[in-house]
Amino acid sequence: MGKSGRKNFLIAVICLSLVFLWREGRELWPALVTEIRTVSSDGGQETETGDKVKGTIALTFDDGPHPVYTPWLLEGLRERGVHVTFFLIGQNIDGNEDIIRQMKEEGHLIGNHSQNHMQLTKEQVKAACEQINVTNEKIREITGETPEYVRPPYGSWSEELECMVPMKVVLWNLDTLDWKTQNKDRIVKYIVSHVEDGSVILLHDVYDTSVEAALEVIDTLQAEGYNFVTVDEMLID
């Protein structure tokens, strides 16, 4: 084969290679685009629709379970695909075991909020620990798991209690005062105007106004691109 023939042969090989790569690329490109869309240009997460996640927040509910309002809340959460964190009062568990089983089965995080909603730092250490341990045992008997997280009533905790009860303390950074106002619109307005990435929002599932507000807040903030998680997921992040 002469020099001219070798040159024509190499050109033909290059052309065939380009055609092959073009055909393969057409098949691989959609998948590649899909992968790229999962991360925004600045590294942020995106929703399934391609919208950037605006922030991650946790809804938390104290003082339950309530025999009427908590099931109503659970139904609304299930419809919206949202998981939250419940901090339970031990004395409210009795007779509401099925509600707690539902919480567990539907993927919500269950924590401890003491037995009688006492301010633990004003009690003797032994009595305060008993408040936590009794409620832990009640939850364990129902769910098969001992809670890892505790929210002390009034946010009152001490290093002494931490040594006696080895649990992770979860407080909050956005207090709705829903127990005080019991006004759905005011609760919604307060949350929506103050929420930010990393907000741990304090609510109570023992008021109908709080449940209504929570579901409306979820609808509003999901539309804005917020992602709802349980507090353990937020702590991991």
- The span from the CA of 152 to the CA of 62, in Å, is 10
Distances (CA, A) of 65 to 33, 36, 143, 226: 46, 43, 14, 26
Residue 71 preceded by cis peptide, ω within 30 = no
Q: Token pair of 100, please? A: 């707690």
Is residue 113 part of the annotated active site? The answer reads no
Cβ burial of 15 (10 Å; 0-12, 13-18, 19+) is exposed
Is residue 62 part of the annotated active site? The answer reads yes
- The span from the CA of 220 to the CA of 232, in Å, is 23
- Total residue length of the chain: 237
- The span from the CA of 169 to the CA of 149, in Å, is 6
Q: Which of 197, 204, 205, 219 is catalytic?
A: 204
- The span from the CA of 67 to the CA of 53, in Å, is 34
Return the closest-CA partner of residue 228 out of 70, 57, 4.
Answer: 57
Q: Which of 62, 63, 178, 205 is catalytic?
A: 62
Contacts of residue 27, defined as CB under 8 A and 6 or more positions apart, other chains included, come to: none
| Active site residues per annotation | 62, 204
